[in-house]
Structure formats: structure tokens, C-alpha cells
Amino acid sequence: MIPLVQVEQFLSRVPSAAVLPINEEGDVDTARVGIALADATGIIVAHLPWLLDETGQIAQPVNPQFAAALTGICADIALYRITDSVSGSEDTRNKYLDNMALLKKINQEYQGGLEGPGFQGASIVLPNKAAGIVDHRFFKKGRLY
């Protein structure tokens, strides 16, 4: 699966203080960064399966309503995955948890506030004597306590 964010895009988004993996030559290990981006894309697709097309790849272009948010989330998740517990911070963990919550919200928004296959929205049926819809509600006067 092609990652949502390419290595070059990721490196331009990463803060300068971030500790990234280094290869033998002393440069950023782009192979490990690429693996982290693929993992991050997998996590996003696990939460948002509707991003995939019939070939199993991410449908391009990504819905513009969510594209910028998903790009940022992918970069954040990848950064979280490649930083170890020594160089990671509490802020990074909180950002990761916020991203997971945002993925859930995006999924609910895309599916009309529902989650999971086969769910349908409820509708309100108002009584209408002309259409034969009877009002079966019972109202009682009095105190509630």
C-alpha cells in the first residue's frame, strides 16, 4: 500500500528537535522512515476502511474534506512510531492519542454519525391521521415527583 505521506513530505513536517533514526552514513534512515509511514497509513486505514478502493490501495485523491487532517495524522503517527521511549515525550503520546480520537471522529462524520456496516439512521415518524399513522403515545397530567 502506498503511504499517505511520502518520506520527503514527512521530513519537511518533522520538527527540527525530533530525534530521527540515522543510517551508517550519518544521514536520516529513509528506509526506516518509509516503514513507519507505511505502518501509520495501515493504522489509518484500519480505522477508516472506506479510504481503500477495490484494488486495496488508497483511493486517490483522498476526500478533500479530510485530506489535510489525514496527512498530518499520518506524519504524527509515523513520528510517534520511530521515536523510542527515551526520546519520546508526554506531549508526543498525547498527540498520538488525540490523533486516534480524531480518526474515530472522521469515521463517524463520514458515515453520517454511525459506525460500522449495515447501520441506518433513525427517522422520526409523526402522527398523521390522513396517512393512517396513529399517535400511540400516552400523556398523563400530574407531578413527576
- pLDDT, tens digit, 9 for 90 and up, residues 42-85: 999 988 888 888 888 888 888 888 888 999 999 989 988 887 65
Confidence tier at 142 by pLDDT (50, 70, 90): low
Residue 128 bridge partners (DSSP): 133
Instruction: Tell me the C-alpha distance between 130 and 126, whole Å.
Output: 12
Calculate what percentage of the chain has a pLDDT beyond 70: 77
The residue behind cell 514527512 is 10
Q: Which of 80, 83, 85 is nearest to 21 (CA)?
A: 83
| pLDDT for position 8 | 93
Residue 64 and residue 110 in contact, taking contact as beta carbons nearer than 8 Å: no
